[in-house]
Amino acid sequence: MPAQANASVNDVVTPLHGLLPAGSTVVLAWDDAVLGTGCRTSPAEDTRLREAAGVLLGGGKLPAGLHQPLWECWTHAESGARIVVLAEVSATFSETQRRAWLSTARALVAAVLVSMRQGRQIEQLERSKRLQQALFEIADLAGSDLEMSEMLGNFHRILSTLMYAENCYIVECDETQSSLRFLYFFDTQDSFAPDPEQRIHYEDMQDSLTFAVMRSGRVMHGPSRVLLRELDPRHSVPSGPDSTDWLGVPMWRDNVVCGAIVVQSYEPGVQYDDEDRAVLNFVTTHILTAMDRRQAHVQLEQHVQRRTLELEHANASLRGEIVERQRAEALQAALFNISELAMSCGSQAEFHAELHRVIGGLLDAGNFYIALINEAGDGLEFVYSVDEFNRERPPRKFGGGLTEYTIRTGQPLLATRRQIDQLLARGELHEFGAKSQSWLGVPLFSDGEVVGVIAVQSYNPQVVYTPDDQRLLAFVAHNIGNSLARQRDQNRLLQAHAELERRVAERTHELGEVNQKLLAQIGERMRIEQRLSHQAMHDSLTGLPNRLHLLERLEEAIEHARLGIGPVFALLFLDLDRFKWVNDSIGHAAGDRMLVEVARRLVGLLRGNDVVARLGGDEFAMLVRCEGGADEAMDVGRRLLHALECSMWVEGRELFPSGSIGISLWNPHYESGAELLRDADAAMYRAKGMGQDRCVVFDEVMREQSLQSLELEADLRRAIGNRDFLPFYQPIVSLRDGKVVGHEALLRWQHEGRGLLLPGDFMQLGEESGLIEQVDWLIYEQVAHDLAATTSGYISVNVSPRHFHVPKFARRLFGLLDAAGADPSRLRVELTETALLEDAPRTLRILRQLRERGMVVQLDDFGTGYSALSYLHRFPISTLKIDRSFISGLHTEGGKNTQALVEGVVSLARTLGIETIGEGIENERQRQVLLEMGCNFGQGYLLGYPMPREATLHKMV
């Protein structure tokens, strides 16, 4: 108990002792749901008197042996606390004094206990406020532009406001790589400084507490040396400094451990308690969510950068293609000029000189010559030659030169210095003049015969000819050969010229088109960027602003209202009623058209400066000026609902939409638009709970309920980790002989503070948060082990419709049974009519998988849902459970109709070969009527109450 509470107790015990004669002793004991159990004695500890007070507190009688005992035991009317005041009086005390003393004791103790409870509640509220503020800060961090290390450092700072977290680190694990890395590490005594980018393999962390937390998936708490010894006595020496208290909590993502958060204390007086453990476990989930949001933001930025680089590369490729096309155009122009030369030059010498000039514009032709076979056919004549070393090339007889080698082979020759030396070494060549570093020659043809060679050569090792140069020169040689038969081929050359001109025009046109496409791509990119910016702030279906846009306008409105330069406003949160029925019955396309029409009506009803946004699905929000406060906001909400009620035609059907509206009014205590949106959402759910098609304004009562729901959800998550859920078994009995044929597993929650809770206390929250599926699997696992431990009777479990949306449900259930060694034929699954009809093909497929393993399918609460008899033929249903509402109505006014209905159900089931079980049998008359109708089995308080598993299993052996 806190020191303040101790002082309050002493303030009442000490005055009570002062009212007694000297030498007397007084003890105060209490048992309270909020304050717990405690005891105080004055003037000193008296074990005998404390034990006597404990007996009275437990409902026992006052022990003998006390000297003149003066006592009273009562239950406080408001708080329900059990209180005992016991005194051992040293001297005679009159009856009047006794009554006065006891009356004073009752008044003082009641007042102090009320004050202590209020103090405790204030502490809890303050802690909740700090926790909520921390969550808001975490959410802000997730949307910030901070680096990961800086963001995690701020997480550490926020966590330190909720608990002692001076030493803290965050670890992320990757099961696919069997490794982990320290995303954040801060320790005042540990010199370990891990690199956030470095991954550490699991085998290097086998003996660490951090690895144990992630591998086991459970919270570990205690001194580090003790925890290590519990893991393995051989590894009791920690890798870092020995901490006096160590607390590690795993982080979960999609039912898989993805990391851990650890805090530790080196101070002897600083230790963690259950509240710290709960806070760390609760905050862990939100920190992971914030980290995921931050990671998604980083990935989006990286994707944008990659896409930008891809566009830049594409642009560079296009520019290169343009350069290449320009080069090709220049080449085509050069070839065209060569063709023109063959027809326009007056002499061969002029033609050769012009040819050299053209070729020199395409490749390195500083050393160039044309050699022709002489008229005798036994030697060479160099009709044109330009060379930096051989200024003159006189005619010569055929020898072993490169020119002769080209004539002999009739093929172009492209040779480097090394290749030339190899030919010389083999005796195939004889080199004339200066040594070439690169030589290129192609034969000249006339009428299919070789008449000469055109050649270029380089004496510079840096200038090397390529196959492209060879192809160019070969083309030139071909044109020279044609020039020798100019008169004969003049018409052909003219046609070639026309064709070449056409091809140049086509290529030029192609290049123009490429340029236009490039410009179009640049313009399209700009339009895409503008469209993406618009899409990021607007809904693609209705064109309305989206959640992000609305939050920006809310922040602006809050800032203006706080500065007094803007009007008072309200936020209206609209959710369409029964919209899912439209999607399920006439299709999602019709649902989309309905949403567009609703958006049009909302925009048409509000003023131009108001904001209408679509938040997603069938949810809309309206930011409106509201000078008249709550009354004006309610009037706007009613007008919106009235506008929705007008019929609309969709897919040939007349629909009458309706909605529920929650309203949050501007108030100076709001710090952000998210808070306004949250409260409007809560008010909308209150409107739906009150019957739909109405408006509700958010108030403080709803705020308190939201906090309670938040606390209950935290308890629910913690209870899943602690496995605080257990099955109670209610027997299913043969109505003829009373023999127990099976049991139904009913869910119970052993709450750490509120005791045993029934499903009605938490089921709705579990369904909304999606946690109920995890709870179901905890129950299924216990049932599987109980089946394996027994030999007779069956056990039925309730299966939520959610499970039929998971394709691996049947496989996972079989895995539980096989792991426990249980017989699948002794397990029955109970489902409602809603589960059958939500996704009939998938449900039928899963039920057939269950039947193949011998499981029996029971239809629960028959008669309360759609009651479509067709699914009794379609689905493999073996048992119908008649709902308790029909059983209880058998003997009430109008019971004849109910009795006829039950008789019809039993008769139908008997005709189809389906068993029937009557639920909720509470008296003998109901049992007898059901038996006479032909219902063979029953379940209810008359036949047996739900009992803990320990009290049931020994009967099934």
Q: How far apart are CA 711 and CA 717, in angstroms?
A: 10
Report residue 3's pLDDT band, with 50, 70 and 90 as the boundaries. Answer: very low
- Tell me which H or E stretch contains 29: strand 25-32
pLDDT, position 12: 75
Is 268 strand, coil or helix? Answer: coil
| Average of per-residue pLDDT across 380-400 | 85
Report residue 491's pLDDT band, with 50, 70 and 90 as the boundaries. Answer: very low
Q: Are strands 379-386 and 755-757 parallel, antiparallel or unpaired?
A: unpaired
Is 456 strand, coil or helix? Answer: strand
Asked if omega into 241 is within 30° of 0 (cis), the reply is no
Report residue 372's pLDDT band, with 50, 70 and 90 as the boundaries. Answer: confident
Predicted confidence (pLDDT) per residue in 332-348, tens digit? 776 677 667 656 666 67
Close Cβ partners of 951 (under 8 Å, ≥ 6 residues apart): none
pLDDT, position 904: 83
- Among 14-18, 609-613, 702-706, top mean pLDDT goes to 609-613
Q: How far apart are CA 394 and CA 672, in angstroms?
A: 97
C-alpha separations of 220 from 106, 155, 223, 245, 454 in Å: 45, 21, 10, 10, 88
Of 495-504, 564-573, 590-599, 699-708, give the lowest mean pLDDT range.
Answer: 699-708
Q: How far apart are CA 75 and CA 81, in angstroms?
A: 6
Predicted confidence (pLDDT) per residue in 155-170, tens digit? 888 888 878 888 899 9
pLDDT, position 329: 72
Residue listed under structure tokens 């290529």: 507
pLDDT, position 485: 44
Report residue 819's pLDDT band, with 50, 70 and 90 as the boundaries. Answer: very high
| Contact call for residues 744 and 729 (beta carbons, < 8 A) | yes
* 707 phi and psi angles, rounded to 5 deg: -65, -40
Q: How far apart are CA 156 and CA 169, in angstroms?
A: 8
C-alpha separations of 881 from 26, 232, 813, 864, 957 in Å: 61, 52, 23, 11, 26
Q: What is the residue-wise DSSP string for 65-126?
A: --SSEEEEEEE-TTT--EEEEEEE-SS---HHHHHHHHHHHHHHHHHHHHHHHHHHHHHHHH
Q: Name 622's bridge partners.
A: 572, 612
pLDDT, position 322: 81
As given in the structure block, the two tokens for residue 447 are 């009428």
Q: How far apart are CA 656 and CA 206, in angstroms?
A: 64
pLDDT, position 826: 92
Q: Are strands 659-665 and 256-265 parallel, antiparallel or unpaired?
A: unpaired
C-alpha separations of 3 from 6, 46, 112, 202 in Å: 5, 21, 14, 46
Q: How far apart are CA 338 and CA 329, in angstroms?
A: 14
Predicted confidence (pLDDT) per residue in 226-250, tens digit? 888 887 766 545 567 888 999 999 9
pLDDT, position 29: 86
pLDDT, position 176: 74
pLDDT, position 479: 65
pLDDT, position 684: 86
| Contact call for residues 539 and 368 (beta carbons, < 8 A) | no
pLDDT, position 781: 92
Q: How far apart are CA 951 and CA 231, in angstroms?
A: 34
Is 663 strand, coil or helix? Answer: strand
542: pLDDT strictly greater than 70: yes
pLDDT, position 54: 83
Predicted confidence (pLDDT) per residue in 719-737, tens digit? 888 888 899 999 999 999 9
Instruction: Provide the phi-psi class of 53: left if phi over 0, else alpha when psi is between -120 and 50, else beta.
Output: alpha
| Average of per-residue pLDDT across 601-624 | 87
Q: What is the residue-wise DSSP string for 309-321?
A: HHHHHHHHHHHHH
Report residue 484's pLDDT band, with 50, 70 and 90 as the boundaries. Answer: very low
On average, the pLDDT of the chain sits at 82
- Tell me which H or E stretch contains 653: strand 653-655
As given in the structure block, the two tokens for residue 954 are 């020994």
78: pLDDT strictly greater than 90: no
487: pLDDT strictly greater than 50: no
Close Cβ partners of 795 (under 8 Å, ≥ 6 residues apart): 729, 742, 743, 744, 745, 783, 786, 787, 826, 827, 828
Report residue 492's pLDDT band, with 50, 70 and 90 as the boundaries. Answer: very low
Predicted confidence (pLDDT) per residue in 422-471, tens digit? 888 888 888 777 888 898 999 988 777 888 899 998 888 888 898 888 88
pLDDT, position 939: 94
* 721 phi and psi angles, rounded to 5 deg: -65, -35
As given in the structure block, the two tokens for residue 253 are 């993502």
pLDDT, position 109: 82
pLDDT, position 10: 67
Predicted confidence (pLDDT) per residue in 20-44, tens digit? 888 788 888 888 877 778 888 888 7
Helices (H), ranges, 443-587: 467-484, 486-537, 547-563, 579-586
Report residue 364's pLDDT band, with 50, 70 and 90 as the boundaries. Answer: confident
Question: How many H-runs (helices) and E-runs (strands) does the chain carry?
Answer: 28, 33
Report residue 262's pLDDT band, with 50, 70 and 90 as the boundaries. Answer: very high
pLDDT, position 869: 59
Report residue 493's pLDDT band, with 50, 70 and 90 as the boundaries. Answer: low
pLDDT, position 346: 62
Q: What is the residue-wise DSSP string for 179-206?
A: EEEEEEEE-SS------TT--EEGGGGT
Helices (H), ranges, 345-414: 348-360, 402-409
Q: How far apart are CA 74 and CA 84, in angstroms?
A: 7
| Average of per-residue pLDDT across 754-778 | 81
CB atoms within 10 A of CB 655: 17
| Average of per-residue pLDDT across 101-105 | 83
pLDDT, position 794: 93
What radius of gyration do the chain's Cα atoms show?
46
| Average of per-residue pLDDT across 677-697 | 83
Which of residues 132 and 606 earns the better pLDDT score? 606
- Tell me which H or E stretch contains 721: helix 700-722
Q: How far apart are CA 152 and CA 374, in angstroms?
A: 89
Amino acid 205 reads M
Q: Which residues of 776-813 are buried (b: 16+ CB within 10 A; e: fewer)?
A: bbbbbebbbbbbeebeebbbbbbbbbebbeeeebbeeb
- Tell me which H or E stretch contains 622: strand 619-625
Q: Name 246's bridge partners.
A: 222, 264
